[in-house]
Amino acid sequence: MEAFEQPVSTILPLDDIMNIKGQNMDGDPCLRVIKHGRTSGWTGGEVNGLRSDCQRAEGVYSTEICVLNLRHMMVFSHAGDSGSIVFDFKGRIVGMLHGGNASAGVLSMERTYVTPMEWLVEDIETQLGVRVSIPNTID
């Protein structure tokens, strides 16, 4: 995958993530996303508009965005990529990667779970009592 040169510009609202207007090669709705992980480097994937309930600990669940690897391509994430920022091709932040099932293999449908950035910012603001702003440009 070529180097991504779009500046990170803003957070992509969850409503826009869930109301996908793009399509994958099969004509199914999807949002193409990329990330750079510590282990896997630059990879691409697709958000299909589905949310997944993830068990984080005994009795602790969260609802996350599910990213699928591009079919017949590399996996989207590997162990060690947690904390990577996932964004779309317009430079909008989608969320932060926190887990997946990369052991499935290169040619199978691998799932990666991403917490929407909108939720993370809201949580930070609530917990710290501060306003978080994302710069519109990078110098």
CATH code of the domain covering residue 82 = 2.40.10.10
In a domain, 80, yes or no: yes
- Average pLDDT, stretch 13-18? 78
- CB 70 within 8 Å of CB 51: no
Q: How confident is the model at residue 138 (pLDDT cuts 50, 70, 90)?
A: very low
- CB-CB neighbours of 82 under 10 Å: 17
pLDDT for 31 beyond 50: yes
In a domain, 38, yes or no: yes
In a domain, 2, yes or no: no
What tokens were used for 137?
A: 């440009």
Q: Which of 74, 91, 78 is nearest to 33 (CA)?
A: 91
Number of domains in the chain: 1
- CB 65 within 8 Å of CB 45: no
- CB-CB neighbours of 47 under 10 Å: 26
- pLDDT score at 84: 94
- pLDDT score at 72: 67
In a domain, 54, yes or no: yes
In a domain, 37, yes or no: yes
Provide the whole-model pTM. Answer: 0.76
In a domain, 119, yes or no: yes
State which residues form the domain around 91.
12-128
pLDDT for 56 beyond 70: no
